[in-house]
Amino acid sequence: MNQEGLKGIQFHSERMRQITNLVNSLIPLESSLNISGPSGSGKTSWANYIIEQSQLQDRILRLDIKEIDEENFKSYLEKNKFRHLLLENIEYLHKENQAVLAQYLQKNAIISKSVVISTSVRGLAELAQQGLLRQDLYYKLTVFRVELPSLKDITDEIPVVAESYMRSFCVAYKKEKLKLSSEAMAKLQMYFWPGNFSELESVLERAVILASDETVQDKHIRFDEFQKHTTLDLSLGMSLSEVERRLILQTLEHTENNRTKAAHILGISIRTLRNKLNEYKEAGLI
């Protein structure tokens, strides 16, 4: 997902609409914001969207904490003529540099307004509670917070996001007439997306390249090694009830037997899920 794609996406789920409304209400950003979420959930894309909409793109220092030489962290800040910061993977910042950053932010809060956007896989509140993040720094980084969900938790968004990616790749590869078949879309929606939006983007780019006519077929939708662990094992002639049973059990396995989460992914009530499991147990199927 990129910031260009974000502009054109009309999210359907309540969760993503709430995130979009919150983000847009913060623009132009004038304080600190932490964006957390699993790998591939679009943290950098949302950060770039906010930076662009706040017209900060030419006035911000971008640092990926996982990639920089932390011995030079203080000098990076001291030489920052832009004042504003994008700190990706902030959870990797060593304790001594956390103190440096806290002092820098305190100083700049007095001298000028500094916009600080940070991204992290784990929530900063959890890190602070575990003593892995200085509490004073936690408060300086989280005036506002956005928590992004996994793609498997917002499967209703797959069609609209997939179409957005398709438009971009069709232009890039000069295949403007290319469309997703209903079978290809169904295959996308049956997958659990351990790599989230980043994996969906990669899968669709591959599909656009592979498609030779005007339609992306399900055969063009190819997953990586995760596929064998996260897609259903279906075969021709299998009954609908057996497909349902396998889907329910695999969803439970994927959610580590969290029935609430499994029911949400499946789009059924917890009561319905419980009744189905009781049926399978009585029939000796589990």
* pLDDT of the residue at 1: 62
pLDDT in tens, 50-82: 999 999 988 899 999 999 988 899 999 988 787
Residue 179: pLDDT above 50?
A: yes
Residue 97: pLDDT above 90?
A: yes
* pLDDT of the residue at 226: 46
Residue 283: pLDDT above 70?
A: yes
Residue 26: pLDDT above 60?
A: yes
* CB-based burial, 24-55: b 16+ in 10 Å, e otherwise: eebeebeebbbbbbbebbbbbbbbbbbbebbe
pLDDT band at 227, cuts 50/70/90?
very low
pLDDT in tens, 250-265: 888 877 788 888 887 7
Q: Assess contact for 47 and 117: CB atoms under 8 A.
A: yes
Q: State the Cα–Cα distance between residues 210 and 196, nearest whole angstrom.
A: 21
Average pLDDT over residues 16-31: 95
Half-sphere exposure of 140 (CA within 13 A, CB side): 24
For each of the domains in the chain, give its residue range(s) and CATH number, in order of start. Answer: 3-149 (3.40.50.300), 152-231 (1.10.8.60), 232-286 (1.10.10.60)
Query: Which tokens in the block code for residue 178?
Result: 């290319």
Residue 3: pLDDT above 60?
A: no
Helix (H) / strand (E) element for 23: namely: helix 14-26
Average pLDDT over residues 138-167: 94
Q: State the Cα–Cα distance between residues 136 and 148, nearest whole angstrom.
A: 24
Q: State the Cα–Cα distance between residues 122 and 89, nearest whole angstrom.
A: 9
* pLDDT of the residue at 5: 52
* pLDDT of the residue at 233: 59
Residue reference for tokens 């832009």 = 82
Average pLDDT over residues 230-244: 69
Does 39 or 224 have the greater pLDDT score?
39
Q: State the Cα–Cα distance between residues 147 and 157, nearest whole angstrom.
A: 16
Which amino acid would we find at residue 283?
A: A
pLDDT band at 9, cuts 50/70/90?
confident
Average pLDDT over residues 97-113: 84
Helix (H) / strand (E) element for 47: namely: helix 43-53
Q: Directed axis angle between helix 182-190 and helix 158-172, to 10°?
A: 120
Residue 2: pLDDT above 80?
A: no
Quote the DSSP letter at residue 38.
S
